[in-house]
């Protein structure tokens, strides 16, 4: 491989992490919608729900003009909802199964909190999750999860509570003397909550239910969880008629950095579902009954982080549901699905409607299917082994076995190139003043000897997409959260065994760098000293890039390097045995001594015959 080709390969490899950095921070995301004029920011932040509140909405919670009062179509003017001045006591209720407990409030028939019993809040709580599980708090804002902003049915409206069938909880309220509203919550076996709504016109005139906004709960960065290689706070949506899932994280990161306070933006596209998430957990609201329940637009709300690696510190989206007119006696039913739980491929796939695509691997589009395949493979291997570290090692073996023929062919090509290096050196010396002629002669020489100077780099190049895809998977895999392996306490984070002056000491990246150096020394090469110096810099560069990456990713790379070292030493021993069996050295000493003819098999070149002159001299002596 000449200097230009080597420099090109090295440059392309180094540009991959640079491009990922630039793409995530500076490149403007493509937004296909036409943005509506952005309304004045609404403060939906830190405001705890009081235990006793009036049923009327607070002044700061007054709905927009689009969500005006419920009107009676036969009346001459809109019928204003008159709020009750009577203070009501908040009732808190719970729905539970083995993995999830949700806390419900009669104020707004909303969700205040979700407790995930299978996930410890910190690493120290892993041994006894019940003491401190993950709690997703939605009560710190004025609009908790699943609350509406319409008069008479907002976050401050008091509902009557009753028990439904199969342990469900039913909230009911008479919004108008002629209009009743019921909301029934039921919890299945895992993380999906079914919400059934009924709007009943009990009057003698048509009633128009106005357009209203439904909110998801707020999401914040998780404490004690690294936010490096983020941001992880994001809003996602599947727009009706769109292709795939739209990830708004790049837009939020860019725009929240431009404004002080809350960023708010309306996306005027209908929705099938929308979600908000942090690094490992998410909320997803799906609109099932599209006839009565049509979400017309999505409102993004987010605020930038305050310090460190936290680019986005808060996010809470809402969806606008179109108004519906009810005739006398008509009952309108709405069916919603509310998922609140881990960002798990298996769990989200069960929900259907491409909800598993909210997992943002932060990869190029061509790498996303590979990332999904890597996650699927890891999950299947874990079901067999029960340990995520062992699963990563086995996945590495599977990947290397798939690439073994290609790697072996590349190694043989590099070996042959090394054996031909003296002849190539003579060509370079002969045509050193004529680069064009040198290129022509070298191309002809490669063709004659059936070697490819780029074939040795091909095995490494084709594995780069695998490495990048696995990086995307391990970056957000909730399965690896607090997963232990040997001395590693969390495969989703850097090792940080201990700190020296605040600097974390990680063993795996150092081991990875050492194996890269050893791998280079064992690999046959025909590079000149300058090229070798460039290649010797590669382990240092990768050590710098990968030092703070998740331990699971470095475990994969280190294992892959060890397999390569074994493959190289095995090939060399095999060739040595074959050469010994043939009664000659592995490489003939005559190769590269001026003979420019094609070398079909340098190992099998016969030794030189004894010259006739030498034989005649010996006869004369006798």
50-59, 278-287, 311-320, 432-441 — which is least confidently predicted?
50-59
**Average pLDDT in the 1-12 region?**
55
Nearest to 214 by CA among 321, 355, 137, 67: 321
How far is it, in rounded angstroms, from Cα 575 to Cα 568? Answer: 11
Q: In this predicted model, what pLDDT tens digit does every residue of 335-387 receive, in sequence order? A: 899 999 998 888 888 888 888 888 877 666 677 778 888 888 888 898 899 89
Q: In this predicted model, what pLDDT tens digit does every residue of 196-241 receive, in sequence order? A: 999 999 888 888 888 889 999 999 887 766 656 666 788 999 888 7
pLDDT classification of 532: cutoffs 50, 70, 90: low
Q: Are 119 and 101 in contact (CB under 8 A)?
A: no
| Residue 135, SS3 per DSSP | strand
CB atoms within 10 A of CB 77: 7
pTM of the model: 0.72
User: Residue 171: what pLDDT?
Assistant: 94
Q: Which domains does the chain have, with CATH numbers?
A: 3-20+380-581 (no CATH), 31-360 (2.70.98.90)
Nearest to 319 by CA among 346, 338, 335, 299: 299
User: Residue 38: what pLDDT?
Assistant: 37
Q: Which residues, at least 6 apart from 443, have a Cβ–Cβ distance to it below 8 Å?
A: none
Q: What's the mean per-residue pLDDT of the chain?
A: 75
Q: Is the pLDDT of residue 589 over 80?
A: no
User: Residue 282: what pLDDT?
Assistant: 92
Q: Is the pLDDT of residue 277 over 80?
A: yes
The DSSP line for 148-207 is: BEETTEETT-B-EEEE-GGG-EEEEEEEETTEEEEEEEEE-SSSEEEEEEEEEE-SSS-E
Q: Is the pLDDT of residue 150 over 90?
A: no
**Average pLDDT in the 527-545 region?**
73
Q: In this predicted model, what pLDDT tens digit does every residue of 318-335 receive, in sequence order? A: 999 888 888 888 888 888
Q: Which two tokens stand for residue 159?
A: 């509902």
CB atoms within 10 A of CB 381: 19
**Average pLDDT in the 508-518 region?**
87
CB atoms within 10 A of CB 252: 26
**Average pLDDT in the 283-296 region?**
80
User: Residue 145: what pLDDT?
Assistant: 93
**Average pLDDT in the 580-598 region?**
49
The DSSP line for 268-336 is: -S-EEEEEEE-SSEEEEEEE--TTT--EEEEEEEEEE-SSTT-SEEEE--EEEEPPEEE-TT-EEEEEE
Q: In this predicted model, what pLDDT tens digit does every residue of 14-71 receive, in sequence order? A: 555 555 545 544 443 443 333 333 333 333 333 333 333 333 333 333 333 333 333 3
**Average pLDDT in the 481-490 region?**
86
User: Residue 317: what pLDDT?
Assistant: 93
Answer with the residue of higher pLDDT: 169 or 79. 169
Q: Which two tokens stand for residue 106?
A: 């009669």
User: Residue 529: what pLDDT?
Assistant: 63
Radius of gyration of the chain (CA): 33
């Amino acid at each position: 491989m000449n200097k230009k080709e080597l420099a090109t390969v090295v440059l392309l490899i180094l540009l991959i992490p640079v491009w990922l950095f630039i793409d995530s921070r500076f490149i403007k995301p493509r937004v296909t919608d036409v943005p509506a004029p952005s309304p004045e920011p609404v403060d939906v932040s830190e405001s705890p729900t009081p235990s006793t509140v009036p049923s009327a909405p607070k002044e700061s919670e007054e709905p927009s003009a689009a969500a005006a009062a419920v009107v009676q179509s036969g009346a001459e003017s809109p019928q204003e909802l008159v709020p009750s001045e009577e203070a009501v006591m908040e009732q808190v209720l719970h729905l539970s199964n083995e993995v999830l407990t949700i806390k419900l409030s009669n104020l707004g028939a909303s969700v205040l909190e979700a407790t995930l019993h299978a996930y410890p809040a910190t690493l120290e709580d892993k041994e006894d999750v019940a003491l401190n599980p993950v709690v997703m708090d939605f009560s710190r804002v004025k609009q908790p999860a699943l609350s509406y902003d319409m008069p008479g049915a907002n976050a401050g409206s008091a509902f009557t509570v009753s028990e439904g069938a199969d342990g469900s909880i039913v909230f009911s309220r008479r919004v108008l003397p002629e209009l009743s509203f019921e909301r029934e919550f039921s919890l299945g076996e895992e993380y999906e909550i079914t919400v059934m709504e009924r709007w009943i016109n009990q009057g003698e005139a048509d009633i128009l239910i106005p357009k209203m906004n439904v909110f998801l709960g707020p999401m914040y960065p998780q404490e004690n969880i690294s936010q490096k290689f983020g941001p992880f706070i994001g809003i996602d949506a599947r727009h009706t008629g769109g292709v795939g899932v739209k990830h708004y994280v790049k837009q939020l990161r860019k725009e929240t950095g431009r404004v002080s306070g809350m960023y708010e933006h309306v996306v005027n596209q209908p929705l099938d579902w929308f979600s908000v998430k942090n690094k490992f957990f998410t909320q997803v609201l799906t609109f099932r009954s599209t006839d009565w329940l049509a979400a017309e637009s999505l409102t993004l709300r987010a605020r930038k982080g305050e310090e460190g690696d936290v680019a986005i510190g808060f996010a809470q989206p809402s969806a606008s549901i179109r108004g519906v007119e009810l005739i006398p006696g008509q009952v309108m039913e709405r069916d919603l699905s509310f998922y609140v739980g881990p960002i798990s491929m298996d769990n989200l796939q069960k929900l259907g409607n491409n909800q598993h695509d909210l997992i943002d691997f932060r990869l190029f589009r061509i790498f996303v299917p590979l990332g999904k395949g890597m996650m699927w493979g890891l999950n299947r291997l874990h079901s067999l082994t029960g340990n995520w570290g062992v699963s990563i090692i086995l996945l590495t073996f599977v990947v290397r076995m798939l690439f073994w023929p290609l790697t072996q062919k590349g190694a043989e090509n590099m070996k042959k190139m090394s054996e031909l290096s003296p002849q190539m050196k003579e060509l370079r010396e002969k045509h050193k003043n004529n680069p064009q002629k040198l290129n022509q002669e070298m191309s002809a020489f490669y063709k004659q000897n059936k070697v490819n100077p780029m074939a040795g780099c091909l095995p490494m190049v084709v594995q780069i997409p695998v490495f990048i895809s696995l990086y995307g998977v391990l970056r957000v895999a909730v399965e690896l959260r607090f997963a232990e392996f040997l001395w590693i306490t969390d495969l989703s984070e850097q090792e940080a065994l201990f700190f020296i002056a605040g600097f974390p000491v990680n063993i795996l990246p150092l081991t990875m760098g050492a194996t890269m150096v050893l791998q280079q020394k064992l690999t046959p090469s025909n590079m000149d000293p300058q090229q070798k110096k460039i290649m010797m810099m590669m382990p240092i560069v990768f050590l710098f890039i990968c030092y703070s990456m998740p331990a699971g990713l470095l475990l994969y790379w280190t294992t892959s390097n060890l397999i390569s070292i074994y493959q190289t030493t095995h090939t060399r021993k095999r060739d040595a045995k074959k050469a010994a069996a043939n009664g000659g050295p592995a490489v003939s000493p005559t190769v590269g001594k001026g003979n420019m003819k094609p070398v079909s098999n340098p190992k099998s070149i016969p030794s030189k015959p004894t010259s006739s002159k030498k034989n005649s001299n010996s006869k004369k002596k006798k």
